[in-house]
Amino acid sequence: MKYRTTNIPEKYHSAVLKWSETYLPDIDLLLDKWEKFFPRDAKYRLCAFRELGMCDEIECGAMKGRPKFTRSDAMEPEQASHLLAAIRAQASTEFGSIQQHQLTLARAQEEEEQFWVLRMMAEELRHGYQMLHLLLEDDWSQVSNESGEDMVEEILSMKTGSHILGAFNIDFDSFVDNVVFCALIDRVGKYQLSMQKVSAYKPMAESMPQMLREEAFHLATGVVPMRRWAEKAARGDVTVTMDDMQRAINKWLPRGLEMFGDERGGGTNVRYGLKPMKNAEAQEQYYQEVVKLIRDINMRYIRARLSELSLTEAEKILEQVEADGEPVRGIGPQDLLRVPHIEFFRRRGVPAFRMIGTGGEEYADRSAYLAHLSRSLPSAYRSGRDFKTYVATLGKVVEGEMAREEAAREMPSLRRVAGVCPCSRSVRWMSEQTRPDNALTTSEQ
């Protein structure tokens, strides 16, 4: 790989290091144990990578074939505005996920899995750093009154609850969340990075290859433990059950789907050459990839439980259980993972606040739907503020006090003014502030 590396100016670099002392305090431990867990892997470096030798021409949209932009002030103002929003959103997600992972990192059962997540967090820090590099290297005054310093300060001051995208405002309840988040939410990240690799803004495109390389490991950080847990569950281990994983999938997949933006949008980004796919197309590809992932995990479960089966026999059992919903050789649908329906538990986009169950069934009665959600979601999540807010807003929609579109737009963001309690690692929600979530202004266009 041919790339150049660079550091952001010293005062911002120091600010990121200072930020990591609070939210990634174990980074020194990671570096100390690097050789043990990642022998022969290049040692971690906090810097920005810019790939060399990438395509010079705009690869999609109305300007296809023209030279890529190297400065934002050469772009059309609306185009630059969309780009800036995307960079800020990307930066927010990178720093935001570290804050989420830190909450439950210490609860991992296996040291190896813990260090995988720790490495992933360190690389997310680098990804956030990469976005700060983009913000600081260019002049954004055409589309923003904020200075680079203000933008960096704003991003580094965000906490869980004030991040731009919804998935990064939900607390983790256990290490199962660390793992399932990597498998599902980082997978959305992979799509976003892949799409941004063809960005009409060359510095953005050049930033993506190294981030994508690192993201491949982040997905494995989620998927590998899930496969191992499924095998252990098949052998009777009760530490992480299939039901635990299912509930975490139900918690995160709807938020992952919403990260693509409204299903009707994305055309503006395509037209401006910032991304090659509209929201619905990327979302559908992502959903099908999750279907494939869950099928693989189910196959691991079946073959661990009935080790005498051949591949073909195991595949037949899986198909039969999924088709008939009846147990086959002692394996029933409740033993296996299921991908919730694409419209399940949505609060953004076309299906927002429709009462759709995990199987795609529509509920007419709010109580019955809430009972269904209660059976489908982790209890720790249901007892949190995020779910409470959803339930209250759903009530207004059902009572006709609020239109679904308005509810989707007005979902209050949760602000945590007191931050994380360092001794207990618990979360204290101190107040809330309602604001229109501008998270999807980029991707919903």
Which secondary-structure segment (H or E) carries 12?
helix 10-23
CB of 240 to other proteins, least distance (A): 17
Q: What is the CA radius of gyration of the chain?
A: 22
356 φ, ψ (degrees, to nearest 5): -105, 130
CB of 76 to other proteins, least distance (A): 32
Which is nearer to other proteins, 112 or 153 (by Cβ)?
112
CB of 223 to other proteins, least distance (A): 5
Three-state secondary structure call for residue 67: strand
Find the shortest distance in angstroms from Cβ 33 to other proteins.
15
CB of 400 to other proteins, least distance (A): 43
Match 């810019």 to its residue by tokens. Answer: 50
In the complex, what is the shortest distance from the CB of residue 212 to other proteins, in angstroms, rounded to a whole number? 8
Residue with Cβ nearer other proteins (296 or 432)? 296
CA 38 to the chain's CA centroid: 24
CA–CA gap between residue 169 and residue 160 (Å, rounded): 5
Structure tokens at 368: 């019955």
C-beta closer to other proteins: residue 289 or 406: 289
CA 13 to chain centre: 25
In the complex, the residues that contact other proteins under the rule CB under 8 A are 1-2, 38, 40-41, 53, 209, 212-213, 216-217, 219-220, 223-224, 227, 289, 292-293, 295-296, 299-300, 303, 311
Complex with other proteins: residue 226 or 355, whichever CB lies closer:
226
CB atoms within 10 A of CB 65: 8
Our CB check for other proteins shows the closer of 213 and 366 to be 213
- Inter-residue contact 137 to 48 (CB < 8 Å): no
- Please report how close the Cβ of residue 83 comes to other proteins at its closest, in angstroms: 25
- The smaller minimum CB distance to other proteins, of residues 312 and 367, is found at 312
**Nearest residue (CB) to other proteins, 38 versus 363:** 38
Question: How far is it, in rounded angstroms, from Cα 183 to Cα 226?
Answer: 8
Q: How many helices (H) and strands (E) in the chain?
A: 16, 4
Please state the closest distance from residue 289 (CB atom) to other proteins, in A: 6
223 versus 420: smaller Cβ distance to other proteins = 223
Q: Residue 334 carries which DSSP code?
A: G
- 345 backbone φψ class: left, alpha, beta (φ>0; ψ -120 to 50): left
Q: For residue 327, what is the DSSP state?
A: -
Residue 333 DSSP class: G
CA–CA dist 88, 165 (Å, integer)? 11
